Structure formats: C-alpha cells, structure tokens
Structure 1
Amino acid sequence: MTTKSATTPTLKPGQARPRAAIAAKTLRTDRWWLAPLLTVIGLGAWVTYATVRVFMHKWYWVDAYHYLTPFYSPCVTDRCVEQASHFGRFLPGWWIIPDAALTLPFLLLFRLTCYYYRKAYYRSFWLSPPACAVPDGHQTYSGETRFPLLGQNLHRYFFYAAAIISLINTWDAVLAFHSPKGFGFGLGNIILLVNVIMLWAYTISCHSCRHIIGGRLKHFSKHPVRYRAWSFVSKLNVRHMQLAWITLGTLALTDFYVMAVAAEWIPDLRFIN
C-alpha cells in the first residue's frame, strides 16, 4: 500500500497542480543560445552583403558572356546597361532605387513571410522565444494577430511572385549560354544553373506550394498526377530549412562571381568559347 507524502498537497477534482517554484529562468544547461546567435550572424552578414551590392550599381553584368547577377535581375532602371535590360528600362536611375526594384521587394517579402524564416528571426532577433523551455524575451505576446505581423498571412500570394522571379532567373541562365561569340559554356554558366536549381527547389518546397498542389484534395486516388506532384513537393518540404540557407549561399556566391569577373579581378574559366 502506498501513502501520500506529507508535502504533497491534496488536489480537489478538476484542480490543476501548481507550478514548481523555480527561480531560474531556464533549467537548460546545454548551449541553447548558440543556434539563435549563429542565425543572427548568418542573416546579418547576408543582409549586409546584399544591401551593399544592391546599391553599388556596378559590376553586375559581364558583356563577354552575358552573365547577369540575380541581385540585378531584371535590370529595369535607365542606369542599366542596355544589353542587361531584358525587359526594358522604365524606372529612373536614382541612387535610392535598386536596379532590380521590380523584383527585390517581392523576394524580400517572400523570404520574410516564409514559415522557416519566421521561426529563425522570431527566435534569434526577437527572442520570441529564443529556444524551447526558455522564456520569451517579451512580457506580452499577441501572435500574428496585429500589424505588421498580420501581413504574414500574405505569404501564399508572395509565393506566386517568387515563382515568376524564378522563371526570370532561369531565363537569365539560359541567355548566358549565348554570348556575342555564339554558344559558350564556362564556370559562370555552371554557377548560374546551380543557383537557379536551388532557387526552384526552395520555392516549390514552400508550404504554400504544397497546399496549392494537394492541400485541398479529398481523394488523392482521383487525382494521381497531383498526388505524385504533392509527394515530390512534400519530400522537398522536409528540407525547406536547409534549402532556405543553401539559396542564401548560392545567391551570394553567384553575385560575387559575376562581380569578380565583371570587375576583372578573375577571368572566367571557359570550356567552350
């Protein structure tokens, strides 16, 4: 026969057990702060680099091989090189206006409202919360029910814009095979292609894309094609976090390579022409 401890309070039916009186904010002894810290460093470094490059207004186009960095695609200001302006130059070339002003805001909003990136910057920059079993850095919490976080629900619409931008980047990669000397193939083409493939993988692995393809179907057996597409996207969706970081890396690498070749810091390694 068991007996109750003298220190255990007797609970009435339906009464909740009181919380333990723990003075420490968290009992975690592992390095729970490392992941948020690395996220701050990683995202902060990328945003700094991207901001500087976007407003440099130079070294974005390699005329000899038709390389165009994704940070300047499509180039639509009257400051752009004519050969790099595949969709015309219809915006004024003021310094404050990025040369890719037509697409950069949508790409930024797509990434900001991404389900993974929300988790990343909520935990790292806002400490809301910084980790599991660690208290929130704010006294009050309203979720995504107020402005500006209410706009997170527009993510599904930014997905369509991101898909169109991925098409534009794909077109840029295809055009890069046709230089003034005719068909050409170099290291820059490989970098552009890898970047485009990774961008497509990240874009279609989005939760909104998965829902669009098969989220509202009641009978997969009646839609075998959409079921196969949904299964493929679901496999990519599991890697959405990794793809989010990989694409940040491929974007920076592609831009830096195009900049280095355009500035004549390094020559492009050519295999054909």
Structure 2
Amino acid sequence: MTTTKSAPPPALRPGWTRPRAAIAARTLRTDRWWFAPLITVVGLGAWVLYATVRVFMHKWYWVEQYHYLTPFYSPCLTDRCVPDSSHFGTFLPSWWIIPEAALTLPFLLLFRLTCYYYRKAYYRSFWLSPPACAVPDGHKTYSGETRFPLLGQNLHRYFFYLAAIISLINTYDAILAFSSPKGFGFGLGNVILVGNVVMLWAYTISCHSCRHIIGGRLKHFSQHPVRYRAWTLVSKLNARHMQLAWITLGTLALTDFYVMAVSAGWFSDLRFIN
C-alpha cells in the first residue's frame, strides 16, 4: 500500500508571506490618540504667541528699583535699552524689528527646535509625522532628517554650548537682582528669577548632547570616577527631559510676566528684605 504526501499548507511554503488585511480605516485605535498632539499644538502655539508679542513690545522688561531683568530681554543690547538694564553695552540699533536680546534669542530658539524632545513634539503635533503610534503618517513620503532644513538638527550639540553660555548670563542677572540701589534686597521677584534659572540649568544639562559629552565616549567608567558620577546625575535628569522642557516654558513665561507687571506698575513686588 502506498501513501501520497499532501502539499504543505501555504503558511509553510518557502517564500510565502501572509497578505496584509484589507482594512479601510486609517487606524484601529479607538482611544483619544489625537488629544496629546492637540494639547502640544495649543501649548506650544500659545507660548510662541506670548513670547513673540513680548519680545517686540520693547518695554516693561526692567525694574530699576530691584534690578529685575526679564530673560526675554537679556542681555539688553540695543540703544533703546533703559539705563542700567544693559550689562554688555548697547551696540545694536533700535529698529523695532530687532529685539533687545537679538544675539541670544535666535540661539535659544534653535537649541529648543533641535532638542530631541521638541523634535518629537512638533513632528507629531504640527507635522503629523506620525501623530501617534499605530496612526499613519500625514505625508505621502518620508525622508527623515536627510534633507534641508532638517539637516540642521545635527547642530544641536553646538547650540547646547551657546545655551549654556546664555544660562550663565541668566544666572548673572538673577544674582545681580539681589543688589538694589538701596543695597542687598530680597523679594518675591528674586525667588522667581532664581527658580527660573535653576529650572533652565536642569533642562540644559539634562540635554542628550550634554549626557554624551560627559560620558558618551568613555570606554571604562572605573578609570573616570568623577565623570561617571556626573554622567549618572545627568542621566537621571535626562529621564525628566520632557517634563523639564515644559516646566521651563512655564517658568520663563511666569518670570517675564512678573517682571512686566512690576515694571508696568500693575502691582508691587512682595519684599522680604529691603
């Protein structure tokens, strides 16, 4: 008696691949996957609008009585700067289109635009590329960051160096604010300025580039204990990079609004000493 072997099922045949399911829907997700991109658009859009308006107001940025200077106008470099608000000279012309901090604001913007977290945020929210996991890209083609202007994302490390220098300037402004014309002074404005500087430093050094600069190329941590300790600290902060990115947007807006309000006379600074 002879037996014949039946043909193997299609799934076991060499080179066979299962066809994709014919699903008409763009995504099978039923949760509110669109909510996170929407919140990002609203949040970033509102902050950019506020910052743009404030930068081109050209007023209410300096409190002479307590030496409060908003970070949006630091360092103040145009010949429009009010007395004592400029610490590095006023060599820029006072055209309305030139911000008082024209030499620092572009680099701060580029530092944030090329930040790894912000890239994820605005790629998903403003460009829909893609808006969420398991949701199709909003574009027909995808080239990644291989074309202009996205090639500039590779300059993030160099913008980090500049952002660190600008953070030093903001730190100098916060320290200087403790010295008013009446001598040493301490008020709510000082708390806000120092809190903003602390958060800015936390966000800056939590940057992925900073983490790589400190310990990314080390082959033996045991031979570099100091750098290893610094790397572990930055790594812990790096895990909070997204939260720090949003927190610093809030502290920057709060600091600017408080200085503006005190400078405009909307309310007085709450003083604790002098």
Which TM bucket (shorter chain)? over 0.9
Shift of 1:13: 2.0
Aligned to 2:19: 18
Give 3-state SS (helix, strand or coil) of 1:101's partner.
coil
Tell me the TM-score normalized by structure 1: 0.96
SS of corresponding position for 2:36: helix
CA deviation after TM superposition for structure 1 residue 10, in Å: 3.7
Give the aligned residue type for 2:229: R
- Which consecutive residues of structure 1, in runs of 5 or more, have no partner in the other structure? 1-7
The residue type equivalent to 1:210 in the other structure is: R
Cα distance in 2 for partners of 1:258, 1:191 equals: 9
2-side partners of 1:211 and 1:10: how far apart? 46
AA partner of residue 62 (structure 1): V
Report Cα offsets for 1:55-85 as digits up to 9, x if no partner: 0000000000000000000000000013010
Q: Distance in 2 between matches of 1:176 and 1:265?
A: 20
Corresponding residue number in structure 1 for 2:250: 249
- Report 1:20-39 matches (<5 A): 20-39=21-40
RMSD: 0.9
1:55 aligned partner: 56
The size of the alignment, in residue pairs, is: 266
Residue type matched to 1:233 in 2?
Answer: V
Q: Distance in 1 between matches of 2:17 and 2:114?
A: 38
Moved over 4 A (4+): none
Contact kept? 1:59, 1:259, Cα under 8 Å: yes
Partner residue, 2:141: 140
Structure 1 equivalent of residue 4 of structure 2:
none
Amino acid at match of 1:219: H
Map of 2:102 onto structure 1: 101
Which residue pairs with 1:183 in the alignment? 184
Paired residue secondary structure (1:50): helix
> Is the partner of 2:272 in helix, strand or coil?
strand
Aligned-residue sequence identity (percent) comes to 86
Counterpart code for 2:129: S
* Matched ranges for 1:67-106 at <5 A: 67-106=68-107
Query: 1:11 deviation in Å?
Result: 5.0
What secondary structure sits across from 2:140 in the alignment?
coil
The answer (yes or no) to whether the contact 2:34–2:132 under 8 Å persists in 1 is yes
Q: How does 1:153-232 map to 2 (within 5 A)?
A: 153-232=154-233
User: Is 1:61–1:67's contact at 8 Å kept on the other side of the alignment?
Assistant: yes
Give the C-alpha shift of residue 145 in structure 1: 0.1
> What's the offset of the Cα at 1:12?
3.0
